């Protein structure tokens, strides 16, 4: 970044840690950006005339006489229609060899939408995956993460969802992404001929971890631009938010803050909420939907990151390998879409809520039967039937390679009910049974 | 002279000020930065360094910025015109704010200064009145609201003059009182009160005893809450805290409902904004929104204001209680409030308590719950604040500081359970762990005997015992297998399943099943208990399972039917036939 002539240059650093450095300076604003020997840094603490800077790329090699220049602004992104189809790093600088973006410079991490100006989300996002559309329907303006172990194919499912979702813009925020995954997304997008609808902000595993703190705000600032200015439906993909949280933990540790659960900063909930709450349905038609990934360690959802995330997001999607059918399925027990009530049975056929609940209940009965079987007990006729149902249900509906519309999904479910059960065993309202059982 | 200060340090939303005069703990000041005025509250004073927490983003704030102290603590402005308003945690009227995005430093007045209220005097010249005495009343959304003597008025005053019945604005003087020192005090419709100070303008706080009907069977029948009672709902995410809380707020028999959305999802607040103006209060037939006030401090709004929001809500509740009204206050979630306390305590570098929460967390929580309650006012009338808070325990583990400290003070415990939620048994209130202490109150037993029926509590206790027994048998069946236990055990187990499916589980999204009035609850309770008392004859456990599944199905269909409708009666008839098939003795 070029230094302007009238800017004051400081050259006396008093303290350096792994991620921060401090110096004496006056007239500095909180959150303001600075460069330290050309490296970007941000003000995180001011005590009297002592200013502490967080250096995004780390402080290795920074000497005590490094040149520090304050830029008089907090991190910004230039927004314009030119963003579409482009790839950027965490600072919003192009990494695809293209030209710089011309446009209005806006501060990232800006204010939140007044709750009374929001509209209630009501538009269904169809993904064709029954584990999502049937059991955990997504709605535009929603925020929902995949809770997945690192070896699960969440990036593939997410890319599928993104391609089928019919969004006007797809914004990818990659944090601590492997280079291979980054290229995978790039490939999927360009093979689908969708590159002009995509904006990407990518921090790969090769980049310094602290930089990725900027990625969600960059992605969401550009999302707000398209959703608020052009009333577009914007889908934001954030992968992986656990890497983001790890970066938060690094910074708070360097600043001597007392860690709370799992060495995470005490403000983790607020930090994550600030990002996820950018998901919104604007009254003018534009919307921001966030689909994120939170990787788990050994499936542990009580860890601070998935736990806090679960309290913020509107549900979560779990992937699981079903050994009975040898495929990855969307786990119907632990997955949840909180906003599905706004569309199921309203935007979809009226039997949707009851069919959804009945099939999950029967699937739960099958799980009990399986436990019984594994413990060596005799199975009843009902147990046998639930087991057979579960297998069909899993392969015909829950598997992630399913691609149906919701009416087809409901018909498949009724077909399975009829094949294995009597009407009184499924616990569905009589008038719906009367209407659909015969079909 | 007002005290002034200059900024000498900034760490996130904690700012240090050097001040030139006296300041008070919790005093409010405004810091000016690049044209914005940021509201802040004093949280610590060391020498002339004053630490304040800023209620807004401190981005761009510089050392040397100026601050001006106000001389008072964080206050709410109370008066007619608050019903159906949407406020933020600092009582700014969100609808008056301009633009789609919230602007830093924009504060809006909570009342409408131009609106006319039809005032009817209650007192007359020469009457002796004390603080909070009812001087007159106005009507808002068909709710009679009292205009009271200022809460801060000391001793007994005499009414010197009071305006005649007519239309007045909130700032118009409606009465002049003469205080004990002979000074005139002009009174208008507005009251101000600091949110962190409990409003103790009542004679006494008797034990509450009157059932508060919520239409939720697992609450009213199994674990009833009373007017002026306290309860809390802990549960891991996805177990239905918010759905349950919304159900209670929609259906509860209260005059005023205050919802404090404290650090929760904005879309949940939007759901209230969208639905409540359409929904009808089952008790009065009026729109729900007319009795509701929303305090929205969603999770992306500034953290410090989150702490204030629950106090703002409680103080507004106390204001209405002083008028002799039944207030229901819901806070979702008190864990976010505790986290806000933790963030500040952390920035102040206080020594942390368990899980890095501040050491005085327990005291803060118990003081807050202590502000709820059923009170007898000085004029002999009664009012109540029923408080229900949700708790979001980290990792779903109930052995964490917020849950544990809340359990010490709240009298009703509605434990939401992951396992039940996974099985879609909603509301996922654990039937064995959950409790209501009020059921043990003799005052409550008395009330129930008089107003519902004298067998009610015995029957409820029987339900609980049966649920416990059912769980024990389920565990035995798991270990020994279906064949390993006597057929009788299966019958007992399925009787507990009947209770679970028919009484405990309730479909919050079904028009009919969502609300069960008390008389219908009584009928279901009697029906289920009668079946439980019957002896049935079965050859093997498969027969038991099939039979009870049929029975549960019929009962569920009945729950979905309009009460006493033809359909309802036909299911009752079928049920009686089914029972008769295998019943051998009563």
Query: The domain that contains B8 carries what CATH number?
Result: 2.40.30.20
- Least CB-CB distance to A120: which of B11, B94, B274? B274
Instruction: Tell whether B69 is covered by a domain.
Output: yes
Same structural domain, A82 and A24: no
Q: Which of B105-109, B361-365, B396-400 has the lowest mean pLDDT?
A: B396-400
pLDDT digits (tens, 9 = 90+) for A161-212: 888 988 999 999 999 999 999 999 999 988 988 889 999 999 999 998 889 9
pLDDT of res. A429: 87
The last residue of a domain, from among B74, B104, B127? B74
Q: Average pLDDT in the B20-41 region?
A: 94
pLDDT at A368 over 60: yes
User: Taking CB atoms and an 8 Å limit, are B298 and A115 in contact across chains?
Assistant: yes
Same structural domain, B264 and B375: yes
Same structural domain, B224 and B180: no
pLDDT digits (tens, 9 = 90+) for B289-319: 999 999 999 888 888 889 899 999 999 999 9
Instruction: Tell whether A319 is covered by a domain.
Output: no
Same structural domain, B304 and B399: yes
Compute CA A29 distance to the chain's CA centroid, rounded to the nearest angstrom: 31
B420 close to B225: Cβ distance less than 8 angstroms: no
User: How many domains are there within chain B?
Assistant: 4
User: Taking CB atoms and an 8 Å limit, are A269 and B336 in contact across chains?
Assistant: yes
Within 8 A of A107 by CB-CB distance, chain B residues are 59
Q: Average pLDDT in the B559-580 region?
A: 95
Which residue in chain A is spatially nearest to B356 when comparing CA positions?
Answer: A260
Instruction: Tell whether B500 is covered by a domain.
Output: yes
Instruction: Tell whether B91 is covered by a domain.
Output: no
Question: Is residue B35 less than 8 Å (CB to CB) from chain A?
Answer: no
Same structural domain, B47 and B161: no
Who contacts B181 (Cβ-Cβ below 8 Å, separation ≥6)? none
CATH code where residue A203 lies: 3.40.50.12240
Same structural domain, A57 and A81: no
pLDDT at A5 over 80: no
Same structural domain, B362 and B229: yes
pLDDT at A150 over 50: yes
CATH code where residue B144 lies: 2.40.50.100
CATH code where residue A53 lies: 2.40.30.20
| H or E element that contains B147 | strand B143-148
User: Taking CB atoms and an 8 Å limit, are B300 and A310 in contact across chains?
Assistant: no
Instruction: Tell whether A118 is covered by a domain.
Output: no
Same structural domain, A367 and A256: no
Same structural domain, B468 and B409: no
**Whole-angstrom distance, CA of residue B252 vs CA of residue B232:** 15
Instruction: Tell whether B196 is covered by a domain.
Output: no
Instruction: Tell whether B448 is covered by a domain.
Output: no
Same structural domain, B230 and B351: yes
Same structural domain, A295 and A154: yes
Question: How far does A173 lie from chain B, in Å, by closest CA?
Answer: 20
Question: Is residue B16 less than 8 Å (CB to CB) from chain A?
Answer: yes
Instruction: Tell whether B104 is covered by a domain.
Output: no
Question: Is residue B98 less than 8 Å (CB to CB) from chain A?
Answer: no
Q: Which has the higher per-residue pLDDT, A253 or A400?
A: A400
Q: Average pLDDT in the A115-119 region?
A: 93
Question: How far does A205 lie from chain B, in Å, by closest CA?
Answer: 28
B234 close to B415: Cβ distance less than 8 angstroms: yes
Same structural domain, B410 and B366: yes
User: Taking CB atoms and an 8 Å limit, are B10 and A30 in contact across chains?
Assistant: yes
User: Taking CB atoms and an 8 Å limit, are A114 and B60 in contact across chains?
Assistant: no
**Whole-angstrom distance, CA of residue A347 vs CA of residue B196:** 46
The last residue of a domain, from among A49, A70, A91? A70
CATH code where residue B298 lies: 3.40.50.300
Same structural domain, A66 and A83: no
Instruction: Tell whether A338 is covered by a domain.
Output: no
The last residue of a domain, from among A256, A291, A313? A313
User: Taking CB atoms and an 8 Å limit, are A116 and B62 in contact across chains?
Assistant: no
The last residue of a domain, from among B74, B99, B132? B74
Q: How many residues does chain A have?
A: 439
Instruction: Tell whether A415 is covered by a domain.
Output: yes
* Residue-number span of the structural domain to which A400 is assigned: 352-436
pLDDT of res. A6: 64
Same structural domain, A232 and A293: yes
Same structural domain, B424 and B466: no
* Residue-number span of the structural domain to which B130 is assigned: 117-189
pLDDT at B450 over 50: yes
B382 close to B395: Cβ distance less than 8 angstroms: no
CATH code where residue B516 lies: 1.10.1140.10
Select from A115, A350, A386 the residue whose CB has the most chain B CBs within 10 Å, as the one to mutate to test that interface: A115
- Least CB-CB distance to A49: which of B63, B99, B274? B63
Instruction: Tell whether A318 is covered by a domain.
Output: no
Instruction: Tell whether B38 is covered by a domain.
Output: yes
Which DSSP string do the residues of B333-368 spell out, in sequence order? THHHHHHHHHHHHHHTTPPP-GGG--TTHHHHHHHH
Same structural domain, A278 and A364: no
Same structural domain, B461 and B548: yes
User: How many domains are there within chain A?
Assistant: 3
Same structural domain, A26 and A60: yes
User: Taking CB atoms and an 8 Å limit, are B62 and A280 in contact across chains?
Assistant: no
Same structural domain, B479 and B562: yes
pLDDT at B210 over 60: yes
Same structural domain, A205 and A251: yes
pLDDT of res. A1: 44
pLDDT of res. A3: 47
Same structural domain, A53 and A180: no
**Whole-angstrom distance, CA of residue B200 vs CA of residue B151:** 9
- Count how many Cα atoms sit within 13 Å of the Cα of residue A415 in the half-sphere of its side chain: 10
Instruction: Tell whether A171 is covered by a domain.
Output: yes
User: Taking CB atoms and an 8 Å limit, are A334 and B549 in contact across chains?
Assistant: no
What are the tokens at A403?
């691609």
Instruction: Tell whether A267 is covered by a domain.
Output: yes
Q: Please state whether beta strands B134-140 and B583-585 pair in parallel, antiparallel, or not at all (unpaired).
A: unpaired
Instruction: Tell whether B519 is covered by a domain.
Output: yes
Same structural domain, A103 and A178: yes
Instruction: Tell whether A329 is covered by a domain.
Output: no
The last residue of a domain, from among A70, A89, A115? A70
Same structural domain, B505 and B558: yes
Same structural domain, A279 and A238: yes
């Amino acid at each position: 970044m070029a230094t302007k002539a009238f800017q004051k240059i400081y050259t006396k650093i008093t303290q350096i840690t792994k991620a921060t450095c401090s110096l004496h300076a006056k007239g500095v604003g909180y959150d303001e950006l600075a460069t330290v020997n050309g490296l970007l840094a941000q003000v995180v603490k001011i005590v009297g005339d002592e200013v502490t800077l967080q250096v995004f790329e780390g402080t290795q090699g920074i000497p005590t006489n490094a040149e520090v220049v304050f830029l008089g602004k907090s991190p910004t992104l230039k927004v314009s229609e030119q963003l579409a189809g482009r790839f950027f790093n965490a600072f919003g600088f192009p990494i695809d060899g293209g030209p710089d973006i011309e446009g209005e410079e806006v501060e990232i991490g800006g204010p939140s939408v007044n709750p009374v100006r929001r509209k209630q989300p009501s538009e269904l996002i169809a993904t064709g995956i029954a584990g999502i559309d049937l059991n955990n329907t997504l709605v535009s303006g929603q925020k929902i993460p995949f809770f997945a172990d690192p070896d699960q194919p969440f990036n593939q499912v997410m890319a599928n969802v993104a391609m089928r979702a019919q969004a006007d813009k797809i914004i990818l925020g990659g944090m601590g992404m492997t280079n291979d995954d980054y290229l995978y997304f790039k490939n999927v997008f360009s093979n689908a001929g969708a590159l002009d609808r995509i904006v990407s902000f990518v921090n790969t595993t090769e980049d310094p971890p602290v930089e990725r703190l900027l990625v969600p705000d960059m992605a969401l600032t550009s999302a707000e631009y398209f959703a608020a200015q052009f009333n577009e439906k914007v889908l934001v993909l954030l992968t992986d938010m656990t890497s983001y949280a790890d970066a938060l933990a690094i910074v708070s540790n360097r600043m001597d803050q007392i860690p709370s659960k799992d060495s995470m900063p005490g403000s983790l909930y607020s930090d994550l909420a600030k990002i996820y709450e950018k998901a919104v349905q604007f009254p003018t038609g534009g919307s921001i939907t966030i689909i994120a990934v939170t990787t788990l360690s050994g499936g542990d959802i009580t860890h601070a990151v998935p736990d806090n995330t679960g309290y913020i997001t509107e549900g979560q999607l779990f992937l699981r390998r079903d050994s009975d059918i040898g495929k990855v399925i969307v786990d119907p027990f632990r997955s949840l879409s909180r906003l599905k009530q706004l569309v199921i049975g309203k935007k979809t056929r009226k039997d949707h809520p009851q069919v959804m609940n009945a099939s999950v209940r029967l699937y739960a009965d099958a799980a009990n039967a399986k436990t019984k079987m594994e413990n060596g007990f005799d199975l009843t006729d009902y147990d046998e039937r639930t087991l057979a149902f579960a297998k069909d249900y899993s392969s015909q509906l829950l598997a992630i390679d399913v691609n149906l519309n919701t009416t087809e999904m409901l018909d498949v479910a009724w077909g399975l009910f009829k094949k294995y059960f009597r009407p009184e065993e499924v616990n569905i309202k009589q008038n719906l049974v009367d209407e659909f059982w015969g079909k | 002279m007002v005290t002034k200060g200059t900024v000498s340090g900034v760490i996130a939303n904690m700012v240090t000020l050097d001040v030139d005069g006296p300041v008070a703990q919790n005093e409010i000041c405004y810091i000016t930065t690049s044209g914005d005025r940021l509201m802040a509250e004093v949280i610590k004073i060391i020498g002339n360094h004053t630490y304040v927490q800023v209620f807004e983003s401190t981005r761009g704030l510089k050392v040397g910025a100026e601050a001006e102290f106000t001389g008072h603590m964080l206050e709410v402005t109370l008066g007619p015109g608050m019903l159906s308003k949407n406020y933020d945690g600092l009582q700014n009227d969100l609808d008056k704010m301009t633009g789609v995005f919230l602007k830093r430093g924009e504060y809006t007045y909570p009342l409408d200064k131009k609106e006319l209220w039809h005032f009817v005097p209650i007192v007359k010249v020469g009457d002796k009145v004390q603080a909070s005495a009812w001087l007159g009343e106005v009507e808002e959304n068909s709710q009679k609201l009292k205009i009271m003597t200022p809460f801060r008025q000391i001793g007994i005053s005499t009414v010197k003059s009071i305006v005649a019945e007519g239309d007045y604005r909130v700032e118009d003087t409606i009465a002049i009182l003469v205080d004990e020192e002979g000074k005139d005090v002009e009174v208008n419709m507005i009251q101000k009160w600091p949110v962190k100070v409990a409003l103790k303008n009542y004679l006494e706080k008797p034990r509450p005893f009157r059932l508060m009907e919520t239409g939720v069977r697992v609450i009213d029948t199994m674990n009833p809450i009373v007017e002026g009672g306290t309860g809390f709902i802990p549960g891991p995410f996805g177990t239905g805290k918010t759905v349950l809380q919304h159900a209670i707020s929609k259906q509860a028999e209260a005059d005023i409902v205050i919802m404090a959305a404290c650090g929760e999802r904005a879309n949940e607040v939007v759901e209230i904004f969208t639905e409540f103006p359409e929904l009808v209060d089952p008790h009065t037939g009026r729109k729900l929104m007319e009795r509701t006030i929303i305090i929205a401090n969603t999770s992306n709004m500034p953290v410090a204001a989150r702490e204030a929001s629950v106090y703002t809500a409680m103080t507004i509740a106390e204001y209405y209680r002083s008028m002799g009204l039944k207030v229901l206050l819901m806070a979702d979630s008190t864990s976010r409030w505790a986290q806000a306390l933790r963030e500040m305590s952390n920035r102040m570098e206080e020594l942390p308590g368990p899980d890095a929460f501040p050491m005085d967390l327990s005291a803060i929580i118990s003081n807050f719950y202590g502000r709820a309650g059923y009170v007898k006012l000085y004029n002999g009338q009664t009012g109540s604040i029923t408080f229900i808070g949700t708790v979001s325990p980290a990792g779903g583990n109930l052995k964490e500081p917020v849950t544990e400290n809340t359990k010490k003070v709240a009298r009703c415990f509605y434990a939401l359970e992951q396992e039940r939620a996974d099985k879609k048994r909603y509301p996922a209130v654990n039937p064995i762990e959950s409790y209501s202490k009020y059921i043990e109150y003799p005052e409550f037993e008395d009330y129930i005997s008089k107003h519902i029926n004298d067998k009610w509590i015995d029957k409820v206790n029987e339900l609980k015992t049966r649920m416990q027994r059912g769980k024990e048998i389920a565990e035995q069946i798991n270990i020994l297998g279906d064949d390993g236990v006597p057929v009788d055990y299966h019958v007992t187990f399925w009787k507990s399943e009947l209770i679970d499916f028919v009484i405990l589980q309730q479909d919050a999204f079904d028009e009919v099943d969502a609300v069960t009035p008390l008389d219908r609850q009584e009928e279901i309770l009697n029906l289920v208990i009668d079946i439980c008392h019957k002896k049935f004859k079965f050859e093997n456990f498969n027969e038991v399972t099939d039979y009870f599944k049929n029975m549960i199905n019929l009962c569920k269909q009945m729950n979905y039917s309009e009460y006493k409708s033809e359909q309802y009666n036909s299911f009752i008839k079928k049920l009686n036939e089914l029972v008769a098939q295998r019943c051998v003795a009563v």
